[in-house]
Every structure is written in structure tokens, then in C-alpha cells.
Amino acid sequence: MLHGRTPRTAILLSKVRKKREKPTQNRWKWGVDELAVVDQKKHLGVDIAKDCSWNAHMFKVADKGKARTGRLHPILANRHIDTRIKLTVVKGVFVPPVEYAGVVWEGNKKVVKELEAAQMKAAKTIL
């Protein structure tokens, strides 16, 4: 018999059906426990929505980037620190989470604008 953690297990139903089909109202069970049906689920660190988009995840990444820029503001805005050092800090702390898997996110212009705005905020703080 399979054993799982039912409190953490959920069902994510995607919208890959024809327009005229009615949504199914199935009850999903794992043994005797009923599983929750969710609209969004985090899997391996990525939030996936039921329409198979990563928009929510990318907006969270952009918000994290903006928050990191805010936390680094005392260092980045200091005029006595060399610009090359500040650029190294930005490239080491800010850029990796924002640029990770950038090729995948390029399909959505709204998400790309949000990520670029976060990067520009960090760049403006340096100069």
C-alpha cells in the first residue's frame, strides 16, 4: 500500500479541456482521506497555476528582487563605496534569482517588464 502525507498532497486540475465540456466534480481520495483540489501549487520551488502558467511565481521572484534591493540600499547608495564593488554585490545577490531560467519567462511581456523594473531599480541605486 502506498503511504503519503495527505495534509501536503493536493490535486491541481489544469484547464486543458474543450470549451463546451463541463468541469468534472470528482472527489479525489488517497486511501480514506480526501485530497484538496487547488488552483495553484508549489512544486520544486516553482508555483504552477491551473492554467499551466508561472505568472504568480515570476511576480513573487520580482517582488523578492525588489525586497533585496531595499535591504541592500544602505550598501548600494553609499557614495564612498566603489561602483565596481556595488556592481559585484548586485550581480552576486540580486541577479541570480531574477535571471534564473530567463529564457522560459520571456514569453510573457508583462512578467518581463516586472523583472526588468526590479533590475532597473537596483541599477539606479548603484549610480
pTM of the model: 0.61
Same-domain check for residues 64 and 97: yes
Considering its fold, how many domains does the chain have in total?
Answer: 2
Clarify whether residues 78 and 113 are in a common domain.
Answer: yes
Q: How far apart are CA 16 and CA 8, in angstroms?
A: 24
Question: pLDDT tens digit string along 72-103?
Answer: 888 888 889 898 988 888 888 888 877 776 66
- Domain residues for the domain of 89 are 55-126
Mean pLDDT for back-to-back runs of 10 residues, the chain (127 residues)? 58 60 64 72 75 76 83 86 87 79 70 81 80
Give, as one character, the DSSP assignment of residue 35: P
Assigned domain for 37 exists: yes
CA angle 86, 119, 45 (to 5 degrees): 105
Residue 89 domain-assigned? yes
Q: Is residue 3 part of a domain?
A: no
